[in-house]
Amino acid sequence: MAAGPEEGPSFAMAGVEEDDDTPMLSSRALEALKEFLSEQNSVGIGTGGGEGVGAEEVSLVAEDWRLSQFWYDRVTAETVADEIRALCSSASSRVACVSCPTLYAYLKQIHPDISAQLLEYDNRFKQYGSDFTFYDYNQPEDLPLELKHGFQIVVADPPYLSKECLEKVAQTISFLACPKEFYLLLLTGEVQQDRAAKLLNLHPCGFRPQHTNKLGNEFRLYTNYDPEGRLGGWEPTQ
């Protein structure tokens, strides 16, 4: 597809006559800029090339902190992906990943047979094709009807630590979840613990999610089912 005028920066190219005052990028700077733009737009499942990275590291877009994006580290994403595998009792189990693109990417890499839908605000993840659904927590039920009550497993990581955000995400969870029985995993800050218990009947697990960039606030994983020997079990209530 040809790039339109609004689709990217225009560069002054070598060999093209330019006014002397026009700023020019050196070929090295141009290469670095191209690499940066390609990283920003690249998304998907693939092998990573970072330092100390194993062959199965998933490549993701750069975090955009304006969208409250903080990616899980590899151990966290793999641990949750393996938990989902353990929960998939039948081949027809469907998983909704609400605002957790890293989890979606690892899940599809490690267990590609699992059917998963990513609900996300960041349109860069459109590259996941029909597995991507645009989602804004401010419109919690503004979602395609075919997703209604269609998921046996829902994993959510709300973008904000406010009461309002959790209440709206809870509405989305009710919309998506299979009413008969569903497993819910919520990854969020410890400050949401009481609300998570009240709104969604969730309990904290011993497993502590970690991020590639350290967060200032304590982060927890909550479930609506007893994981027993997995995820460090439910923490005893105080």
Q: Which stretch binds ligand SAM (CB under 6 A): 39-47, 93-101, 145-153, 175-183?
A: 93-101
State the nearest-atom distance from the C-beta of 169 to ligand SAM, in Å.
Answer: 8
State the nearest-atom distance from the C-beta of 115 to ligand SAM, in Å.
Answer: 18
How far apart CA 133 and CA 145 sit, in angstroms, is 12
* Tokens standing for residue 136: 């804004």
Q: Confirm if 82 and 72 have CB atoms less than 8 A apart.
A: no
71 in contact with ligand SAM (CB under 6 A): yes
100 in contact with ligand SAM (CB under 6 A): yes
Q: Pick from 181, 175, 182: which is nearest to 145 by CA?
A: 175
Q: Pick from 229, 176, 231: which is nearest to 200 by CA?
A: 176
99 in contact with ligand SAM (CB under 6 A): yes
215 in contact with ligand SAM (CB under 6 A): no
Choose, by CB under 6 A, the member of 58, 69, 173, 175 that binds ligand SAM. 69
Give the ranges where the chain is alpha helix by DSSP (H). Answer: 27-41, 74-87, 101-110, 163-176, 193-200
Sequence-distant (≥ 6) Cβ neighbours of residue 151 within 8 angstroms: 94, 95, 96, 117, 176, 177, 178, 182
Which residue is at the shortest CB distance from ligand SAM? 102
Near ligand SAM in 134-153, by CB under 6 A: 135-138
Considering the complex, state which of residue 30 and residue 42 has its C-beta at the smaller distance from ligand SAM.
42
The DSSP bridge pattern shows strands 94-98 and 153-156 to be parallel
159 in contact with ligand SAM (CB under 6 A): yes
**Extended beta strands in the chain, E state:** 94-98, 115-120, 132-134, 153-156, 183-189, 203-204, 219-223
Near ligand SAM in 106-125, by CB under 6 A: 120-122
What is residue 79's DSSP assignment? H
State the nearest-atom distance from the C-beta of 188 to ligand SAM, in Å.
Answer: 8
207 in contact with ligand SAM (CB under 6 A): no
State the nearest-atom distance from the C-beta of 158 to ligand SAM, in Å.
Answer: 7
Total number of residues that touch ligand SAM (CB under 6 A): 20
Choose, by CB under 6 A, the member of 79, 102, 109, 152 that binds ligand SAM. 102
Binding footprint of ligand SAM on the chain (CB under 6 A): 67-72, 99-103, 120-122, 135-138, 157, 159
